[in-house]
Structure 1
Amino acid sequence: MRDHVLETQLAPTINNLGYELLGIERLTQGRFRTLVRIYIDHPNGITITDCERVSQQLSSVLDVTDPIASQYTLEISSPGLDRPLFHLEQYPRFCGSRVRVRLNKTLEQRRKFLGILKQVDLEQQQITLVCDEKEYNIAYTLIDHAQLDPTEEDIQALLKARTDALN
């Protein structure tokens, strides 16, 4: 489950540290515990040290503001290759990429889609996804969860680009 209220509270701290807050997931762990997973990014990528730094700062903020009613585990994460997409504004840079989308209601008797993100219309608040050679215009309000689903080719190309950049 996304957590927009917590995002609003924590974004300034994350931004002041030089990172971008991509989004927050709250997941139930057992009966009385919650996992709060915070995704951050940086143009140079994210290291374990970055995650530790953000975790320390956010722990202090959360101790003071105490916005989470239950016991929780705080996890700071890089978005990874299969990065989740939390906000419509994050979608345009991934046009042409393979995306997995789960809807909160059915659209043409489907709730799950795997296809190529063809277009993002920020004004109309919708995406166009090509699945099985058919185009689907999906309102952003219908999207429960979306994430990149890179192919093996995509992963190899990214690894090659990173290797080339290091040389």
Structure 2
Amino acid sequence: MQAGVENLVEQVVSGLGYELVDFELSPKGRLLRVFIDIERGVTVDDCATVSNQLTRVFEVENVDYDRLEVSSPGLDRPLKKLADFERFAGQEIQLRLSLPIGNQRNFVGVLQGVRESSVVLLTEKGELLAPFEEIEKARLVPKF
């Protein structure tokens, strides 16, 4: 069910001009969480627009759910796609790898971009090349 609903959400969100950052479906499928983004930043009206459109589409497509939440990804936005790592070059990120590099799985540094399907991160210890497929989790580090 999740893959079908996620594809449907992706089509609706991108059709409205937004980027689907993340999609969560509760274990019983009763709660759908949709995280959207747009270059200028997400407003409450953006969330309402996407929510209203998804509600209509879910009704037509007979998607059974109890609650739909649409929001921005927040200041600590997750980085999920290779394109995200290119877009946010120059920003500080936290990165967790599935396999350690030098006995370390968690890194913090300034994102340099992407080189040959690896994410380039400038850490205190120098440059780190993290293979994209080894990245378990990555998030922006908010600046206050």
TM range (shorter): 0.7 to 0.9
User: For the residues of structure 2 that align with 1:110 and 1:34, how far apart are their CA atoms?
Assistant: 37
TM-fit CA distance, 1:79? 2.6
Give structure 1 stretches of 5+ with no counterpart: 153-167
| Residue 48 of structure 1, aligned match among 22, 44, 49 | 44
- Residue 80 of structure 1 pairs with residue 79 of structure 2: no
Give structure 2 stretches of 5+ with no counterpart: none
Runs of 4+ in 1 over 4 A off after TM superposition: 3-6, 32-35
Q: Give the root-mean-square deviation of aligned CA atoms.
A: 2.5
- Residue 149 of structure 1 pairs with residue 141 of structure 2: yes
Determine the structure 1 residue equivalent to 2:99: 105
The size of the alignment, in residue pairs, is 142
Q: Against the structure 1 CA distance between its residues 39 and 145, is the aligned structure 2 distance closer, same or farther, given a 3 Å change threshold? A: same
Decide whether the 8 Å contact of 1:4 with 1:24 is kept in 2. no
Q: Against the structure 1 CA distance between its residues 137 and 33, is the aligned structure 2 distance closer, same or farther, given a 3 Å change threshold? A: same
Q: Against the structure 1 CA distance between its residues 81 and 60, is the aligned structure 2 distance closer, same or farther, given a 3 Å change threshold? A: same
Decide whether the 8 Å contact of 2:94 with 2:138 is kept in 1. yes
Q: TM-score, normalised by structure 1?
A: 0.71
Q: Against the structure 1 CA distance between its residues 8 and 37, is the aligned structure 2 distance closer, same or farther, given a 3 Å change threshold? A: same
Determine the structure 1 residue equivalent to 2:57: 61
Q: Against the structure 1 CA distance between its residues 148 and 111, is the aligned structure 2 distance closer, same or farther, given a 3 Å change threshold? A: same
Equivalent residues in 2 for 1:1-167, closer than 5 Å: 6-26=5-25, 32=28, 35-63=31-59, 64-66=61-63, 73-121=67-115, 124-152=116-144
TM-fit CA distance, 1:120? 0.9
**Deviations along 1:18-65, whole A, 9 cap, x unmatched?**
32222324465xxx4665332212233211121122112213333425
Kindly indicate which of the two structures has a greater share of residues assigned to helix: 1
SS at match of 2:106: strand
Q: TM-score, normalised by structure 2?
A: 0.80
